[in-house]
Amino acid sequence: MALNHMILSAFFFNPQGDHRMSWRHPRAPGREVFDFDYYRELALVAERAKIDTLFLADHVAIWDSVRSGVAHYANARLEPLTLLSALAGVTRHIGLIATASSSYSEPYNVARMFASLDHISKGRASWNVVTSAMDEEAQNFGRDGNIEHAHRYERGAEFLDTVKALWDSWEDDALLVDKESGYFADPDKVHPINHRGPHLKVRGPLNVPRPPQGHPLIVQAGSSESGKDFATEHADVHFAIFRTKEEGVQYRKDINQRLARHGRRPESFRILPGVLPIVAASEAEGREKQEYLQTLLPDQVGIDLLSSWSGVDLSSYPPDGPLPPLPDESTFNGGRTSLNRVKEWSKQNLTLREIARKLANSGSVPTAVGPPEQIADQLEDWFVSGAADGFNLMFPLLPEDWNNFAEKVVPELQRRGLFRTEYEPGTLRDRLGLTRPANRFAEARDRARAVS
Amino acid sequence: MALNHMILSAFFFNPQGDHRMSWRHPRAPGREVFDFDYYRELALVAERAKIDTLFLADHVAIWDSVRSGVAHYANARLEPLTLLSALAGVTRHIGLIATASSSYSEPYNVARMFASLDHISKGRASWNVVTSAMDEEAQNFGRDGNIEHAHRYERGAEFLDTVKALWDSWEDDALLVDKESGYFADPDKVHPINHRGPHLKVRGPLNVPRPPQGHPLIVQAGSSESGKDFATEHADVHFAIFRTKEEGVQYRKDINQRLARHGRRPESFRILPGVLPIVAASEAEGREKQEYLQTLLPDQVGIDLLSSWSGVDLSSYPPDGPLPPLPDESTFNGGRTSLNRVKEWSKQNLTLREIARKLANSGSVPTAVGPPEQIADQLEDWFVSGAADGFNLMFPLLPEDWNNFAEKVVPELQRRGLFRTEYEPGTLRDRLGLTRPANRFAEARDRARAVS
């Protein structure tokens, strides 16, 4: 289905804001990031503005391979599924995107929690599938180091398909609750999935009826070749990073070709590029605010961050000198999108400190800075040109950049007819114009019937 | 700390009530058991009555090894951690006990979700540790059948200790959030746990600060020898089943001896026996209501249920005949407490149908039936004699038995000074008179200092 307005997703990884050092800002929250009230207020502000989704990124480790990571970086955060479940109880419309790892969870547990959240929220659950690239994560789950890049995605695909099969294990009309006859369910419509693959063995069925959305919305980020193939085969929504509108238009063309290979139409897949919105009286004032955040980065953290992203120990290199040669992508086991961004900056003769500050500032995510009208112009331009179906809003400083956007930019977008003024009825999928997936077991029976 | 009133925990496994066929009762809920509003209302009723905890039991499978299980039994249910997180958002005082399996989860994920729920709820999270005894559960997690009984508890103990170590991995004063100096945390107070045991390898630290309770409250059920040893070494609260007050008094003596072997005092461990409360105008009327529930059990379900609990296929035995010989406990891999209960009924010359109906009716859990004063008499008698620190309330039919207890029995207990009239301030541990656990890493440093 074509979109009649843009999709807006309010994102955070650090609950103090997307700049990695935002926690040090005088107006950033302190210990209240471990208090539910802080998140309820953010969610209610977003819901008043009719924002589509809350999107919580996540890692299953702290970045502690270097001491500066523990000391200076805001590592600790609440867990997305529990936090978004709590928010489900106090919101009515907004979508709830929780990150969970396909490398370090059990498919039965993941299927069950998202199915449960989808019931609790009346069809608002969404899973951001990550394969987890950090060694620190691997070591929290019985491994000595990270799973090799290709295997992570191979397992990820098997994991996701297993979870979807579990969501289908109760057909939509399997639940009878017929008190008179004593039939709680129709046993012909509740299916073991009997999955046996290279990585996983799961019998099923799930012990939760099919979720309201059929399958909770699947989100995927990561623009490596494997990432894009995975997304176009398996996901509904894709979080990408473009520096320019033109890049976004090209990206959509590439994605559409990949979708076609999987028999999918362009409108079955929503692309949300990241943007850093900073509302300010003028663009200059907004840039100043952004630069202030960059000064909060201790050199040591920047160098350690860059070492981690590039896979090279840079601790002995001078902060104002250039980067040494970087590893080849094809043999690199970390996040390849990040490695390639670092490489591009290196080619531009930026110093180590300069690159580190860019990284801390969410890498190459474009900003949208200035008065509300100017930000709306930029988003409108990307949306109407087909570079974006909407935006993943990565506010540098919370809660103020979030509140400013909701209270000042959203009304401007609404005035222009670019954003909803009331939530449409239905599930999250309905609102994003995405169809409810068919049930594989019901389909198989229908096919068998057609043949016989 | 001594208790100055009883502990009351509102329990359910089936959200239609603890009788296995309660879903068929004309006044039982229908499809609304998959709707959050149903649970919010139950929670708010319990909170108005100042009940200590909501206790959600769980399995990670449906009972589908026999077809009658899928057809006639209310297998499907929401997942406890997501549901209790949602309830955390709409309640302020009541404790939240979620069941999670130590056999079929990752300790890092479990530690994180309970830590997160403890922060979200301001110190109200509790984990009911189960080792999962069903073959159907094992098969959802890559295994062909159930883990051998002794190994399940061995792994359970290692799992629980790993989770507790992760909760300690941030010392209580590790979080600094010092914007001026740029120290988010004190790196000397954030610890990898470096666990390497026979079953698990986990590096840590957790990425959530230490929970408000230090460790979320640990609950354990299951009264086999291994179960009692596990509970007295590792748990705070124990859910047990006694048929009589005298049995409860004896049980407490046995438990106290086991506690002493682990260097623990009796008041560090709360025993909550299960009870089935049915408020009615008279005892006779209550019994009639209970017997009506029993008539809702199809014979086929009863026989299949009994086959599953006893480990013997009873499908070819007549429902009104006796049980065949049952397996020996020492070689039985299922729930041994259940097996032993079935054996005792078998000795009483009960027929297969009679035993099946008892099982469906939560086995040998005693009832408390009649007018509110009579129920209060029974609970008072058990509490003041030391047979119970409080009760795990297993309402046969929800929501009415739950509502009746909250609105009629609780005021009677309050009048007698046996139950609180307002929630005391503090965490769930505080309210249960249980001390906040020391942090193992802080203790180790203090010991090292004392020596040097």
Q: What is the pLDDT of residues B353-388, one digit of tens each?
A: 888 887 776 567 999 999 999 999 999 999 999 999
Q: Is the pLDDT of residue B221 over 60?
A: yes
Task: Record the tokens describing residue A11, joined without a space.
Answer: 């994102």
Question: Once rounded to an integer, what is the mean pLDDT over residues A423-436?
Answer: 97
Q: In angstroms, rounded to a whole number, what is the distance separating the alpha carbons of residues B158 and B164?
A: 10
Residues A68-77: pLDDT tens digits?
A: 889 999 999 9
How far apart are the C-alpha atoms of B318 and A290, rounded to whole Å? Answer: 79
Please say which residue of B360, B393, B410 terminates a domain: B360
Peptide bond into B212 cis (omega under 30): no
Q: Do residues A112 and A208 lie in contact, with contact meaning Cβ atoms separated by under 8 Å? A: yes
Would A411 be classed as within a structural domain?
yes
Q: Specify the higher pLDDT residue, A299 or B183.
A: B183
pLDDT at B331 over 80: no
Q: Work out the pLDDT band at B404, boundaries 50, 70, 90.
A: very high
Q: What confidence tens digit (pLDDT) does each residue in B132-152 have?
A: 888 899 999 988 877 777 788
pTM: 0.94
Write out pLDDT tens, residues B61-97: 998 877 788 999 999 999 999 999 999 999 999 999 9
Whether residue A382 is predicted with pLDDT greater than 80 in this model: the reply is yes
Same domain, A219 and A300: no
Amino acid, single-letter form, for residue B131: T
Q: Are residues A354 and A428 in the same domain?
A: no
- The mean predicted confidence, pLDDT, of chain B is 93
What pLDDT score does A298 carry? 85
In this structure, are B110 and B205 located in the same domain?
A: yes
The answer to whether B93 and B427 are in contact (CB under 8 A) is: no
What residues of chain B lie within 8 A of the CB of A170, using their CB? Answer: 76
Dump pLDDT digits (tens) for A3-23. 889 999 999 999 999 988 999
In chain B, the number of structural domains is 2
Residue A387 lies in a domain: yes
Please state at what angle helix A336-347 crosses helix A299-310, rounded to 10 degrees: 120
Rg (CA), chain B: 22
Query: Same structural domain for residues B221 and B326?
Result: no
Residue range(s) defining the domain that contains residue A356: 295-360
Please give, rounded to a whole number of angstroms, the shortest distance from the CA of A219 to a CA of chain B: 20
Q: What is the pLDDT of residue B147?
A: 72
Given B332, B360, B388, the domain boundary residue is B360
B179 interface with A at CB cutoff 8 Å: yes
Given a contact cutoff of 8 angstroms between Cβ atoms, the answer to whether B187 and A67 are in contact is: yes
Q: Does B172 share its domain with B260?
A: yes
Q: Token match 């007549």: residue?
A: B318
Would you say residue A362 has pLDDT above 60?
A: no
Same domain, A303 and A287: no
Query: Does the annotation flag A58 for ligand binding?
Result: yes
Given an 8 Å threshold on Cβ–Cβ distance, is B182 in contact with A59? Answer: no
A440 lies in the same domain as A350: no
Q: Is the pLDDT of residue A36 over 60?
A: yes
- The C-alpha of B281 sits at a distance from chain A's nearest C-alpha, in angstroms, of 26
Which pLDDT score, from 0 to 100, does residue B40 have? 98
> What integer best gives the mean pLDDT of chain A?
93
CA distance A98 to chain B (A): 12
Would you call A71 and B185 a contact, using CB atoms and an 8 Å cutoff? yes
pLDDT at A3: 87
Tell me whether residue A1 is in a domain: no
- Give A199 to chain B, closest Cα distance, Å: 9
Q: Does B215 have pLDDT greater than 70?
A: yes
Look at residues A321, A344, A360 and tell me which one is the last residue of a structural domain: A360
In a domain, B166, yes or no: yes
Residue in A with minimal Cα distance to B163: A140
Percentage of residues in chain B having pLDDT higher than 90? 74
Q: What is the DSSP string of A341-405?
A: HHHHHHHTT--HHHHHHHHHTTTTPPEEEESHHHHHHHHHHHHHTTS-SEEEEE-SSTTHHHHHI
Range with the poorest average pLDDT among A83-92, B196-205, B304-313, B368-377: B304-313
What is the structure's pLDDT at A361? 64
Inside any domain, residue A447: yes
Note the pLDDT of residue A354. 85
Interface of A with B in 101-140 (CB under 8 A): 104-106, 108-109, 112-113, 115-117, 119-122, 136, 139-140
Minimal Cβ distance to B81: which of A28, A82, A184 = A82
Average pLDDT over residues A100-127: 97
For residue B192, the domain's CATH number is: 3.20.20.30
**B198 contacts chain A (CB < 8 A):** no
- Are B384 and B320 in a shared domain? no
Evaluate whether residue A287 is within a structural domain: yes
Are both A419 and A276 inside the same structural domain?
Answer: yes
- B252 plus B378 within the same structural domain: yes
Does residue B2 lie within any of the structural domains?
no
Best mutation site among A136, A172, A207 for testing chain B: the one with the most B CBs within 10 Å? A207
From the CB of residue A377, how many other CB atoms can be counted at a distance below 10 Å?
15
Mean pLDDT score, A51-66: 93
What integer pLDDT is reported at residue A276 of this predicted model? 96
Q: Over pLDDT 70: what percentage of chain B?
A: 98
Q: Minimal Cα distance from B36: which residue of A?
A: A120
Residues A316 and A391 in one domain: no
Please tell me which residue of chain A has the smallest CA distance to B60.
A207
In DSSP notation, B109-122 reads HHHHHHHHHHHHTT
Contact check, Cβ <8 Å, A74/B200: no
- In this structure, the answer to whether residues B312 and B379 fall within a common structural domain is no
pLDDT at A426 over 90: yes
Quick check: is A2 in a domain? no
ipTM: 0.93
Contact predicate B255/B232, CB 8 Å: yes
Please tell me which residue of chain B has the smallest CA distance to A301.
Answer: B182
Give A321-354 pLDDT, tens digit per residue: 888 888 887 777 667 777 888 888 888 888 888 8
Minimum distance, in Å, between the CA of residue A104 and any CA atom of chain B = 8
pLDDT of residue A307: 85
* C-alpha distances out from residue A383 to A276, A369, B356, Å: 16, 17, 64
State the virtual CA torsion across A361, A365, A366, A368 in degrees, nearest 10. -70
